[in-house]
A and B are shown apart, each in its own frame.
Chain A
Amino acid sequence: MVTPQQIGEYLKRVPPLPEAIGSSLNYLAQGELATAAKAASADPALIHYLKQIVNSAAYGFKQELKDPMQIFSALGTQRAKQLLYAYMVHSVAPQKWGYFALDKDGFGKFQLSFMQRWERVVSTLEIDEKFMSAAAIMSAGLIVADAIFADRASDVALIKGSGDFDLDTILERVSRLRFEQLVATIAKKWDVESDVIKLVSLAFGKEECEGDDLCTPARFLHLLLFYELSRPAMLDAGANSFISFNPEFSMPVLERFEEIVGVE
């Protein structure tokens, strides 16, 4: 159905960080917002994306933010970093989705909602802000899944008809690879910090992580992903069965999650 070689070819096609974004991220790591904004200015598409996002109702800034310096200052280091990665993910999203019934706009809404709720979790739990980028990175999983299964949608539908298979299980059984590994490969290509990659990998909920410092954030992120994938638009897009939800993995943080996210 799909071979590791075919997946390897796909991963090779994922572009590395463009120079402007790479430099901007480097400056952000040093806390130099102004220089980071200046570096980002070299990529007009990125600036256009950032303007659209930060001036949306979701961010609720009172004044329209027009120039890169304003945008970066308003966002702060970690949120800016998060949006740079979100842009990278956004830029590799297909124009026409083949497996999920999504478009750029629909995916953008999902990604934004996922990132914003994750921000709330990170700030409420006082998790190190560097992990704010985790949701943006994790959302790349849907793009990878779409790229792998777009041409095989009818075969997948037939297989899914014979059992409650998620795409990750199908992928693992045919290629011995899992989405968490593929997302981690892409994240490494984009120089994402190793502990952020580790958090994202754990948040796929495949293995118990008790004892690991990142375990609690991983449980929250896993739960949050499925909160987002349970929204009508994502259900409609067929994204609810992207990976397997692990209720046991998330159970220890469920009550707290409900409080933070406001699930009633």
Chain B
Amino acid sequence: MRPIVKKQRIAVFTPQGFLDGSSATGLITMQDMEMTRSTGVQMILVSMKKVVFFNKNGITILLDTLMKLQKEMKATIGFCDYNRKQYEAFFNLFEGEIPFSLFKTLDVAMLFAGGTDSKKDGEENVLVFNEDSTQRSMQAIEIYDRGYNPVVVQTREEFNQRAQECDKFVEKVDNTYLGFMGSKIAAKTRGNCVVYYLKGFLDGSVTEQFDVMYHQNSLKVGFQLFMFDATRVSSLNIHAANFFSRLSTAGAEYGALIAIVGLDMEKTPKAFVEELEDAGIMFFDTETDFFTDEIVQSMTGGGSSVKKERNKLTKPVVAKLPVFVEAAMGTLQMMTNMVAIKGDMKIQPFVAAGEDLMASSVAFYGDIEGMVTLAMPKKLVQKSCMLLVGEESDDDEVLSDALSELVNIVAGKSKTVLQEAGVNINITLPRSYTSMDDLSATLNGLQGVQVNFSFDQYPFTFYLSP
């Protein structure tokens, strides 16, 4: 069974029916393991949402496979989407000694995997309860380390009562158990900024803990602001300083700005700070200072730095334009059962066609590099994402996520076709835009290929940029 990869952070297997000694042997095959390895995810979970029966034999067999992956990938392994009865059954089967993690839902798991997007500005509260006080504290610490404010309650009654205050909490964590947790540095996006959460003493191990692929993907898809929250950092050594310096230098070609916020300057050697400043890294006392800084504000969206190597579409990329266009057209036709009519094609900076537009971009890299953006009216997003969402939703967040998945499908389709032609590419996480100003700022006036289509009365724009 192939896992579904959520936000390039969690691989989830979703079996249906029975998970016993016999079925567990066929659930994760060698090919599935290989595929999971290639994703580089931080968590590998089995969803129990549609499992009606499981026994110790089944779980043990499954664990053997998961533990192999854990060892190789240093990932967190476990189960999610279970009910209270199943949660208790795990403890009974393993007599309290659970060698894996349990997350009540996939959203809760995502919180601990550290790949979430901020749902609102300011402090984000997470309600936490566990019968076991050690688990309670551990979960609170892990949540805090991921940039949230844990609100820990001592009793189930209190949890149930506080859980009613829906607006106050971005997530409610109960019936959750943390086993071995991977040590990757947590990240989340806040608007146009990627925020990383650092803690403890930073040394050379920061290189292993930092998710380089996620960072590079963020750069490729147009993020230029990167904030390292260092309020929980005691100090750093030369290896960590060198790491940040290298990171900043590498991001320069994308015009990225790296900032370290809340670092205790008294405990940090002055020479390190100077070296990092020379490398272009900015220091701020607080998050507010960072977000209100003039330079930072001028960069929200796109920034004005010259992207030295990203300003031109190369010939090999343009040669593959038909593959991307076909994939986009085919996908939209497949999702909508509407016929696409091709309009004009021009090399130009992105020009929005139509009103009430939404867009999503995905970057690709490998043998060829570039970025594909799809822009269309909200109405067409609603229609084309019906298959993914299940209904004509009006919720911008739902549509934005669905549009990202749509772009992912287009990129996946293109990747397969290109692979057959001997061209290998990798794909980044998609980035969605509900404002065309943000998109234009990210594209920063670059010359790309714009192909306009129409699906019935709806305009649709495909844009390939460097």
Closest chain A residue to B330, Cβ basis = A155
User: Is the pair B4, A160 in contact by a Cβ cutoff of 8 Å?
Assistant: yes
A165 CB to closest chain B CB (Å) equals: 8
User: Is the pair A162, B25 in contact by a Cβ cutoff of 8 Å?
Assistant: no
**Which of the candidate stretches A54-62, A180-188, A230-238 sits at the interface with the other chain?**
A230-238
Closest chain A residue to B412, Cβ basis = A158
User: Is the pair B17, A232 in contact by a Cβ cutoff of 8 Å?
Assistant: no
Is A76 in contact with chain B by the CB < 8 A criterion? Answer: no
Chain A interface main SS type: helix
**Which of the candidate stretches B48-56, B116-124, B255-263 sits at the interface with the other chain?**
B48-56
Chain B: interface residue count, which band? 35 or more
Which residues of B, 365-418, contact A by the 8 Å Cβ criterion? 386-388, 390, 405, 408-409, 412-413, 416
User: Is the pair A235, B15 in contact by a Cβ cutoff of 8 Å?
Assistant: yes
Closest chain A residue to B417, Cβ basis = A154
Chain B interface main SS type: mixed
Could you say which residues of chain B place their CB within 8 Å of the CB of A250? 52
Is B155 in contact with chain A by the CB < 8 A criterion? Answer: no
User: Is the pair A229, B16 in contact by a Cβ cutoff of 8 Å?
Assistant: yes
Is A223 in contact with chain B by the CB < 8 A criterion? Answer: yes
**Which of the candidate stretches A124-132, A137-145, A240-248 sits at the interface with the other chain?**
A240-248
A29 CB to closest chain B CB (Å) equals: 34
Could you say which residues of chain B place their CB within 8 Å of the CB of A236? 26, 29
What's the Cα separation between A235 and B51 when bound, in Å? 14
What's the Cα separation between A161 and B11 when bound, in Å? 11
What's the Cα separation between A230 and B27 when bound, in Å? 9
Is A226 in contact with chain B by the CB < 8 A criterion? Answer: yes
What's the Cα separation between A26 and B49 when bound, in Å? 44
- Contact A231-B52, Cβ < 8 Å, known A163-B388, A164-B4, A236-B29: no
User: Is the pair A159, B388 in contact by a Cβ cutoff of 8 Å?
Assistant: yes
Among B16, B387, B390, point to the contact of A245 (Cβ < 8 A): B16
Closest chain B residue to A226, Cβ basis = B17
Could you say which residues of chain B place their CB within 8 Å of the CB of A158? 331, 409, 412-413
Is B337 in contact with chain A by the CB < 8 A criterion? Answer: yes
User: Is the pair B416, A263 in contact by a Cβ cutoff of 8 Å?
Assistant: no
Fill in one digit per residue for A208-242: 1 if any B CB lies within 8 Å of its CB, else 0: 00000000000000010011011111011010110
Is B444 in contact with chain A by the CB < 8 A criterion? Answer: no
Could you say which residues of chain A place their CB within 8 Å of the CB of B51? 247
Is B450 in contact with chain A by the CB < 8 A criterion? Answer: no
A6 CB to closest chain B CB (Å) equals: 11
Among B29, B53, B390, B405, point to the contact of A254 (Cβ < 8 A): B53
What's the Cα separation between A223 and B29 when bound, in Å? 24
- Contact A258-B53, Cβ < 8 Å, known A170-B387, A173-B387: yes
Q: How many A-B residue pairs have CB under 8 A?
A: 105
Which residues of B, 14-45, contact A by the 8 Å Cβ criterion? 14-20, 22-23, 25-27, 29
Which residues of A, 12-43, contact B by the 8 Å Cβ criterion? none
User: Is the pair A245, B337 in contact by a Cβ cutoff of 8 Å?
Assistant: no
What's the Cα separation between A157 and B4 when bound, in Å? 10
Is B310 in contact with chain A by the CB < 8 A criterion? Answer: no
Is B1 in contact with chain A by the CB < 8 A criterion? Answer: yes
User: Is the pair A264, B20 in contact by a Cβ cutoff of 8 Å?
Assistant: yes
What's the Cα separation between A149 and B300 when bound, in Å? 45
Is A52 in contact with chain B by the CB < 8 A criterion? Answer: no
User: Is the pair A154, B52 in contact by a Cβ cutoff of 8 Å?
Assistant: no
Chain A: interface residue count, which band? 35 or more
What's the Cα separation between A152 and B413 when bound, in Å? 12
Is B47 in contact with chain A by the CB < 8 A criterion? Answer: yes
Is A45 in contact with chain B by the CB < 8 A criterion? Answer: no
Closest chain B residue to A172, Cβ basis = B390
Is A1 in contact with chain B by the CB < 8 A criterion? Answer: yes
- Contact A245-B1, Cβ < 8 Å, known A3-B337, A226-B17: no
Among A1, A152, A230, A251, point to the contact of B23 (Cβ < 8 A): A230
Is B2 in contact with chain A by the CB < 8 A criterion? Answer: yes
User: Is the pair B27, A235 in contact by a Cβ cutoff of 8 Å?
Assistant: yes
Could you say which residues of chain B place their CB within 8 Å of the CB of A92? none
Among A226, A231, A254, point to the contact of B16 (Cβ < 8 A): A226
B235 CB to closest chain A CB (Å) equals: 43
User: Is the pair A226, B18 in contact by a Cβ cutoff of 8 Å?
Assistant: yes
Is B5 in contact with chain A by the CB < 8 A criterion? Answer: yes
A141 CB to closest chain B CB (Å) equals: 14
User: Is the pair B55, A264 in contact by a Cβ cutoff of 8 Å?
Assistant: yes
User: Is the pair B17, A240 in contact by a Cβ cutoff of 8 Å?
Assistant: yes
- Contact A160-B17, Cβ < 8 Å, known A1-B334, A155-B334, A232-B23: no
B64 CB to closest chain A CB (Å) equals: 15
Is B108 in contact with chain A by the CB < 8 A criterion? Answer: no
A118 CB to closest chain B CB (Å) equals: 15
Is B318 in contact with chain A by the CB < 8 A criterion? Answer: no
- Contact A159-B27, Cβ < 8 Å, known A241-B16, A245-B52: no
Closest chain A residue to B391, Cβ basis = A173
Is A74 in contact with chain B by the CB < 8 A criterion? Answer: no
A257 CB to closest chain B CB (Å) equals: 9
Is A260 in contact with chain B by the CB < 8 A criterion? Answer: no
Fill in one digit per residue for B418-447: 1 if any A CB lies within 8 Å of its CB, else 0: 000000000000000000000000000000
Could you say which residues of chain B place their CB within 8 Å of the CB of A161? 2, 4-5, 408-409, 412
- Contact A235-B388, Cβ < 8 Å, known A162-B405, A223-B52, A226-B52: no
What's the Cα separation between A226 and B16 when bound, in Å? 7
What's the Cα separation between A241 and B335 when bound, in Å? 20
Closest chain B residue to A251, Cβ basis = B52
Among B2, B19, B47, B335, point to the contact of A230 (Cβ < 8 A): B19
Which residues of B, 325-354, contact A by the 8 Å Cβ criterion? 331, 334-335, 337
Fill in one digit per residue for B302-341: 1 if any A CB lies within 8 Å of its CB, else 0: 0000000000000000000000000000010011010000
What's the Cα separation between A158 and B12 when bound, in Å? 15
- Contact A160-B2, Cβ < 8 Å, known A1-B334, A235-B26, A245-B52: yes
Q: Which 4 A-B pairs have the closest CB atoms?
A: A232-B26, A226-B17, A245-B16, A230-B17
Interface residues of B (CB under 8 A from A): 1-2, 4-5, 12, 14-20, 22-23, 25-27, 29, 47, 49-53, 55, 331, 334-335, 337, 386-388, 390, 405, 408-409, 412-413, 416
* Selected A-B contacts with CB under 8 Å, 24 pairs: A1-B334, A1-B335, A1-B337, A1-B387, A3-B337, A157-B2, A158-B331, A159-B388, A161-B2, A161-B412, A162-B4, A170-B387, A173-B386, A227-B18, A229-B17, A230-B23, A232-B23, A235-B23, A235-B26, A235-B27, A244-B50, A245-B17, A254-B53, A263-B18
